[in-house]
A and B are shown apart, each in its own frame.
Chain A
Amino acid sequence: MEATITQVFSKEHSNCDKIFAQAENLVANKQWAEADSEFNKFYTAMEKHFTAEEEFLFSTFEERTGHTMGPTQVMRMEHQQMRQIFAQMQTSLAQQDDEQYLGLSETLLMLMQQHNMKEEQMLYPMIDQALANEIATIFERIRASA
């Protein structure tokens, strides 16, 4: 059976979580060089995930259902909020300010997790249902863009 949006995208969440935790542990130990590269890995993975959602998943869902101001809009806004924190985290890494980084990462974790929860429990299942016939094409397009 073909994988669903819920399965694939939820798996991406948990992969990002793992890199996030690793970067945070490194900052707490003040291993700055390793922390820097781990954070960049995290940042890249998150951006890739956001882009796949915003440009392929959400936009197709919005086209099919006509809801441009519905739940996908809230998710896009939360992506923006997270991007703001990423930028601040980058600054704190450059300044080797572990206290600032750990405060920001704590905040990001809460924002990210409640965001993921809403996607995994409500939005993805909705999308799986609404776009049942197009899932293969969406995955194809995401792969092609990478």
Chain B
Amino acid sequence: MNVANLALQQTPPLSVPVRFFITAPLFGILASLLLIYAGPTIFSSRWGTNTLALTHLVTLGFVSMVMFGAILQLLPVVAGTVIPKPILISSIIHLLLTLGSLGLTLGFIMGQELLLQIAIILLGLSFFSFIAIVGYCLIRVKGNIIIGMWLALAALLITAGLGIGLALRFAYGITLPLSMVLANIHLTWGLIGWVGLLIIAIAYQVVPMFQITPQYNSIAMRWLIPIIFATLLLWTIAYLLLNAHNRFYFVGWLSVLISLELAIFGGMTLRLQWQRLRKIPDVTLNFWRVGSVGLLLSVMLWIAGIIWTELAIQPFYPLLLFILFVGGFVLMVIQGMLYKIVPFLVWLHLQNQQLNPLKAVNMIRIPHMKQVISPILAQRQFWLYLIALFCTILALLFPNLIYLAGIALLGSFILLEYNLLKALLLYRSVLISINN
């Protein structure tokens, strides 16, 4: 074994995570275009096919896409392992997820049953193979973040299973019993279980690391994720059993409990960031702070809807909830993470090239992270995204604003893609001068 192999061992090839990261903004662009195309009708019903398509462009095409890449990259750091045959396996999973997400959304928009039938298979294969591979890598490791990842994977399994079941209605005309209840369970497990738990587990590692803050409270780190998971399970059982018995208040209060648990995370994160030692301006910090506020606002809105049922039956209520949680929290923190991970990986892989003792290379100065992605452009993208988010929320009151929201969102995803692609082009050009 030589140093070059070891250098490779500590991190998977750059293309493994990056293929997911640069595909995600493309789905963001598609989602923005769909928003502009559908206009105010997108808000007419939660269950409209355009709305379903938009939701899945964001949650599968953007959110899950980045999460897959991030997990594959994080495995060596948190579990000391790289997935076997990283390039082959990540290519397959990436291709399945990309085509599956496209097929599903196109199938929804066009009402094409065949597309949906194919999409179900592709997405199913993508999720199950991802779960199997990551589970295999995690099997011998322990720790709080590992438990978090396991539970997030379990939530993904539940989400994907229910999603496939629900999609049968559109693909084959087979409607499951209690399909509205199951749809709510599907989206709750997807957003809070899979995405939420994973963000919490990753935050335990990255929040103290990016800004040099104190660690999260150790009791919270040990218990919060398992407790949220357990409450989700209880909620699901209660929701299924009590659905017919008009005992919704119990289910409602369980969901309040979940909200409070999420609020603990949001509050802790804001508090830690307040105590940070690193005071210099940082775009990731901006994304994470607004993201934590977005989480707290969505939690408050949810609890308000449980207390004042008149609020919860307003048509804008579920939409605002979704926009705040996904747009205000999930997309915020994910974009914030990309601005740390991508420049660092570009730097690391270039640096590793020069450390290879078996190859004659030119020793040139590797661009540092702020040369890989310009903080000014990253800041601009942050503001553009924030404006898009505000316009989307305002569009609930003034429907015609949806076009402005769509255009701002389109701009922000194009700029995100530009920032990421520019980093990769720089990688390529420096790599050529190293090896030349």
Contact = CB atoms under 8 A, between A and B. Distances in A.
Interface of A: 17-18, 20-22, 24-25, 28, 69, 71, 73-74, 77-78, 80-81, 84, 88, 99-100, 102-104, 106-107, 109-111, 113-114, 117-118, 121-122
Contacts of B355: 77, 80-81
Given A109-B278, A117-B78, 8 more contacts: A21-B278, A25-B280, A69-B6, A77-B6, A81-B355, A106-B368, A106-B370, A114-B209
A81 B370 contact: no
B209 A117 contact: yes
In this complex, the member of B212, B277, B368 whose beta carbon has the largest number of chain A beta carbons within 10 angstroms is B368
A103 B280 contact: no
Contacts of B343: 106-107
A113 B3 CA distance: 21
A100 B367 CA distance: 10
Given A24-B278, A74-B9, A117 B77 contact: yes
B212 A103 contact: no
A112 B143 CA distance: 21
Interface in B275-332: 277-280
A73 B78 CA distance: 18
B279 A103 contact: no
Nearest to B370: A103
A18 B340 CA distance: 20
A71 to B, nearest CB: 8
Interface stretch (B12-20, B43-51, B186-194, B344-352): B344-352
B10 interface: yes
B279 A28 contact: yes
Contacts of B6: 69, 73-74, 77
Contacts, number: 77
Contacts of A113: 209-210
Contacts of A104: 368
Contacts of B368: 100, 103-104, 106-107
B80 A110 contact: no
17 contacts: A17-B212, A21-B279, A25-B279, A69-B6, A73-B6, A78-B10, A80-B355, A88-B365, A99-B370, A100-B368, A102-B280, A107-B343, A107-B369, A110-B340, A113-B209, A114-B77, A117-B78
| Residue from the set A80, A107, A111 with the largest chain B CB neighbour count within 10 Å | A107
A118 B77 contact: yes
B278 to A, nearest CB: 5
Contacts of B1: 69
A77 B355 CA distance: 9
Contacts of A73: 3, 6
